Amino acid sequence: DQQVKQNSPSLSVQEGRISILNCDYTNSMFDYFLWYKKYPAEGPTFLISISSIKDKNEDGRFTVFLNKSAKHLSLHIVPSQPGDSAVYFCAAINQAGTALIFGKGTTLSVSS
Amino acid sequence: DVKVTQSSRYLVKRTGEKVFLECVQDMDHENMFWYRQDPGLGLRLIYFSYDVKMKEKGDIPEGYSVSREKKERFSLILESASTNQTSMYLCATRGPSYEQYFGPGTRLTVT
């Protein structure tokens, strides 16, 4: 049973436009969420996180929004750049606080 | 900066071989993790360790074992490699916060 879901396997966006990547979760006890970015043949790199006591966290071009009632979070990238083309993983910290539960990822392609 | 290194970037092994994947971190982090990444399946946790000589099974531990004899080193062992263990293996560490820091990965092919 998948606890963290990224229902869109891929997303294509033009350079300069907004990219919105979505993530849903099933466990209302999750209280910390993270986004990672992964290029081919490299390890994932941490992008941004959000605690459940907040509904928004911003870092430069990246903003994460959390809607607890809908059990939904989204990552906004504005403006999108070709270098943002990568796989993006949403993750939640498990209830024990010991490990991350990852979604299956969304491949973002930004065309110039 | 956190540095996580993995012993090999690419590895080719034969079915039935014993395979060791090594991970070393330089940040004195307590927690270390092994994941595998497969297309369409995301990152799946194999094992993790929260202290020297301590280990916990993740979601898919079957066919794998681990060893943590020193704080900085966490090894993943495939006792008898099989073709369904062909994958990208990723090691990660975690300090006091929830963020995990990943190594570059090992692309293992079992033929």
Q: What is the pLDDT of residue B96?
A: 83
Q: What is the pLDDT of residues A60-94, one digit of tens each?
A: 999 999 999 999 999 999 999 999 999 999 999 98
- The C-alpha torsion from B110 through B31 and A72 to A61, rounded to 10°, is -90
Omega before residue A79 within 30° of 0, cis: yes
Taking an 8 Å cut-off on Cβ atoms, the answer to whether A93 and B103 are in contact is no
Q: How far is CA B110 from CA A2, A40, B16, B99, in A?
A: 28, 20, 9, 31
Does residue A59 have a pLDDT over 80? yes
Instruction: Give the chain B residue whose CA is nearest to the CA of A103.
Output: B42
Does residue B82 have a pLDDT over 90? yes
Q: Which of B59, B76, B58 is nearest to B67 (CA)?
A: B76
The chain B residues in contact with chain A (CB within 8 A) are: 4, 9, 31, 33, 35, 40-45, 48, 50, 56, 58, 90, 92, 98-105, 107
Q: What is the pLDDT of residues B32-78, one digit of tens each?
A: 999 999 988 889 999 999 999 899 999 999 999 999 999 999 999 99
Residue of A42, A100, A105 lying closest to B104 (CB–CB): A42
